[in-house]
Amino acid sequence: MIIFLYGPDDYRRAEKKRSVIAEFVKKRGTLGLATFDLEEKDAFDALAGFLHARSLFENAKLAVLENAFEIEAPKLSKLLKPFLEENSFTVLIAEKDKPVKALAFLIDKPAISQKFDVLAGAEWLGFVNAAAKEEGARLSAAAARFLADVYQGNSWGLVTELEKLSGLKKTAIERADLDQFDLEVAPNYWGLMNGLKSFDMKNRLYALETMLALSDPPAKIFNILASQWAEKTPHMAEYDLAVKSGKVDYEEALVDLLVS
């Protein structure tokens, strides 16, 4: 059996990985459990030996693969495919990205796969409340919505914050209680990008100042803006030439453009 966990939500993917391992240990103990980091020399050969070895003392095995995509895909495919329907052996793989074509069988039956996308909307708010309950942090509805906005797309950061909040030991943590933690909702990036094109110069400069404060590289801001602001294309080209000839830098070009 092969279990493949993937997707950009690192926290939920890692939690599922831990639960699979914990369930194996609970039922089988640690004797048949082994981890193989395929970035390490000889790890692939050790994995092959582990999977093919038979023992009187191990009636089940769990091989946990780290950095599985660092090995040549056809080579890994050849090793793993015979174990797709081998119920006594489990291979557990957790990666952020989808597999390449040679390993596409990892997301098809009979392999067991689960994708962990970044949650949004009601699903994300539901996760916030569930995680708060698990950590012992009792949140009011307003506090939960605020934390959902602050940590949108960052489940690791959310759970870390909830661990701290559980120390408040309050019947219900209100929105006002969160002010002491200096939490702020991250500015909407594309909203700021649109603000750079505002008719009001003050709004344009505010958007640029906010983006620079977020440590966004001026060159990145300039290039994205150039791709979106069609009516300014000739001017952007002139500024780009001036930057590349050393007359100005990208930040100076942006300021000059936005005040004109």
Q: Kindly report the CATH number assigned to the domain that includes residue 87.
A: 3.40.50.300
Whether residue 49 sits in one domain with residue 13: yes
- If you average pLDDT over residues 145-158, what whole number do you get? 88
Whether residue 11 sits in one domain with residue 61: yes
Strands 89-95 and 2-6: parallel
Whether residue 41 sits in one domain with residue 107: yes
Answer yes or no: is pLDDT of 57 > 80: no
* Amino acid (one-letter) located at 225: L
Answer yes or no: is pLDDT of 55 > 80: no
Q: Which of these three, 83, 115, 147, is where a domain ends?
A: 115
- State residue 212's pLDDT score: 84
Whether residue 162 sits in one domain with residue 101: no
Whether residue 83 sits in one domain with residue 35: yes
Whether residue 201 sits in one domain with residue 139: no
Whether residue 6 sits in one domain with residue 111: yes
Range of the domain at 255: 189-259
- State residue 223's pLDDT score: 86
Q: Which of these three, 91, 115, 139, is where a domain ends?
A: 115
- State residue 92's pLDDT score: 97
Q: Tell me the whole-structure pTM to 2 decimals.
A: 0.70
- State residue 211's pLDDT score: 82
- If you average pLDDT over residues 103-124, what whole number do you get? 93
Q: Which of these three, 115, 130, 165, is where a domain ends?
A: 115
E strand spans, the chain = 2-6, 33-37, 61-66, 89-95, 112-115
Residue 47: half-sphere exposure toward Cβ, Cα within 13 Å? 29
Contact between 17 and 5 (Cβ < 8 Å): yes
Whether residue 194 sits in one domain with residue 247: yes
Percent of all residues in the chain with a pLDDT value above 70, rounded to a whole number: 96
- State residue 114's pLDDT score: 97
E strand spans, 27-163 = 33-37, 61-66, 89-95, 112-115
b/e code 93-132 from CB counts within 10 Å (16+ = b): bbbeeebeeebebbeeeebbbeebeebeeeebbebbeebb
Answer yes or no: is pLDDT of 56 > 70: no
Contact between 150 and 187 (Cβ < 8 Å): no
Answer yes or no: is pLDDT of 25 > 90: yes
Compute the Cα dihedral for 224, 227, 230, 233 and give only its sign.
Answer: positive
Give the separation between CA 186 and CA 1, rounded to whole angstroms.
42
Give the separation between CA 174 and CA 143, rounded to whole angstroms.
5
Averaged pLDDT of the chain: 89
Task: Mention every residue, 6+ apart, whose C-beta is less than 8 A from residue 160.
Answer: none
- State residue 251's pLDDT score: 92
Whether residue 140 sits in one domain with residue 223: no
Confidence of residue 20 (pLDDT cuts 50, 70, 90): very high
- State residue 5's pLDDT score: 97
Which of 90-104, 118-132, 136-150, 169-183 is predicted with the least confidence, judged by mean pLDDT? Answer: 169-183
Whether residue 90 sits in one domain with residue 56: yes
Confidence of residue 104 (pLDDT cuts 50, 70, 90): very high
Whether residue 58 sits in one domain with residue 130: no
Residues 162-193 pLDDT 10s = 998 988 878 889 988 888 887 877 666 777 78
- State residue 11's pLDDT score: 92
Whether residue 161 sits in one domain with residue 224: no
Answer yes or no: is pLDDT of 124 > 70: yes
- State residue 195's pLDDT score: 85
Give the separation between CA 138 and CA 131, rounded to whole angstroms.
10
What is the number of domains present in the chain?
3
Residues 190-203 pLDDT 10s = 777 888 888 888 88
Answer yes or no: is pLDDT of 249 > 80: yes
